[in-house]
Chain A
Amino acid sequence: MIALLRRDLALAIRAGGGFGLGLAFFLILCILVPFGVGADSAILARIAPGILWVGALLACLLSLDRIFQLDFEDGTLDLLATSPLPLEATATIKSLAHWITTGLPLTLTAAPLGQLMNLPPQATPWLVAGLALGTPALSVIGTFGAALTVGLKRGGLLISLLVLPLYMPTLLFGAEAARRGADGLDPTTPLLLMTGISAGCVALLPFATAAALRMNLR
């Protein structure tokens, strides 16, 4: 299992477009929004948690079709399916690799980008905590969406349509936690609920992902 993780991370670094793309998109979004909304710092401070969360979500979405598509096209997915590694483990490792290359960098850069968006300082730790706990769910759900559409040529837009409704609970709770932190209220309830969703997804969705992969490999 670790071998697969190391291989995927090495490929993400070497093949290009692995780490940098999501981050660059996140940065661009945080620059575009003030242009669109106006530079009023009070308004920006109010919408900052939401924009940062939506940006993280969309940045995760960008790299989803890479998860299985490359392996499917060059035949590696067939070889992984016939190897001793169960497909559920493959799905989990792929989600983990996606999180390390996309979710984790987003979490780490959220704090400085929050400054661009005039995020109140008391909200920052809650935003980062929320992203750290919620981005694993985004990766796992995204892997499920990628597995559903692995056989399709232009699956990118379809993945977005399938996966975004599934992202909504995580987004709702994560942004709510950051907003409550900004207002000085206690954000533990939404954080806990979101952690529950993340844990549930990590535990149960790989089985659905593996089932979808088996169906598509037939």
Chain B
Amino acid sequence: MSIWKYANPTQFMKTTGWMLPFVSIAAGVCIVTGLVWGFFFTPDDFRQGSTVKIIYLHVPSALMAINAWLMMLVASLIWLVRRHHVSALAAKAAAPVGLVMTLIALLTGAIWGEPMWGTYWAWDPRLTSFLILFLFYLGYIALWQAIETQDIAADLTSVLCLVGSVFALLSRYAVNFWNQGLHQGTSVPVATGGRTVADVFFVPLVISMIGFGLLFVALLLLGTRTEIRARRLKALLNREMARDQDRQQPSRAAQNEGTQ
């Protein structure tokens, strides 16, 4: 599989180097188009007024929050099986992005909820699942920060991601069981092919989602490149320190020889 050649950090840096500007611009264009079209050029909803337009921020960020975790899961598996450093660093870089996406989803949901249903927060299954996902992201990032040796940190956070994914799935069904909520069901049920959101809203929504997806990719590439650079810096520093030690050690070994 030729995709494995990107496991080499230098090859990855080269390729993503020229990719990044294109992806960023594409992301910017899509998001601006989607949001401007959605906010200013769609009619107000019959019942919900203009507040429904926050859907253009809320739905894409919620989607990306889940996708970020799935991407971290795949990257963790690749690290555990094939030990590609780029994969582990990609997971590390994806976590803050996912965290912020979850936060945006929660906040926009709260802003939407207040005029809509009279409350900033309700213990609705989907909202609660997102809150739990937020905590999982926090724990993952905290574990990365806490451990010094980078390889061991990568290992432990991968195991945490795996176990956490199982429990996140479990929580989702547990929360559904615990409380039936006020979400209307999915507004983009791809599987059924039907749509519960009218067409005129739908196209800018899709553009927004694509835009957020590209934004995630752009931020991911940027974050991974930064992590790779940070590791390079550390490797260079280690090499300098080792050279200093090499200069000192020979004289100590010679000293030992003399006394024995």
A residues near B, CB below 8 A? 144, 148-149, 151-152, 155, 158, 161-162, 164-166, 168-169, 172-173, 176, 190, 193, 197, 205, 208, 211-212, 215-216, 218
Contact = CB atoms under 8 A, between A and B. Distances in A.
Given A165-B132, A208-B163, A172 B152 contact: no
B60 interface: no
Interface residues on B, range: 20 to 34
B135 A215 contact: no
B143 A148 contact: yes
Nearest to B133: A165
B191 to A, nearest CB: 26
B178 A172 contact: yes
A166 B175 contact: no
Contacts of A193: 174, 177
Specify the main secondary structure of chain A where it touches its partner: helix
Interface of B: 132, 135-136, 138-139, 142-143, 146-147, 152, 155-156, 159-160, 162-164, 167-168, 170-171, 174-175, 177-178
Contact of B156 (A161, A190, A215): A215
B136 A165 contact: yes
Contacts of A176: 177-178
A169 B174 contact: yes
Given A193-B177, A197-B170, A211-B159, A165 B142 contact: no
A28 B24 CA distance: 55
Contact of B162 (A162, A168, A208, A216): A208
Q: Which of B132, B159, B163, B168 has the most A CB atoms < 10 Å from its CB?
A: B163
Given A148-B143, A165-B139, A205 B163 contact: yes
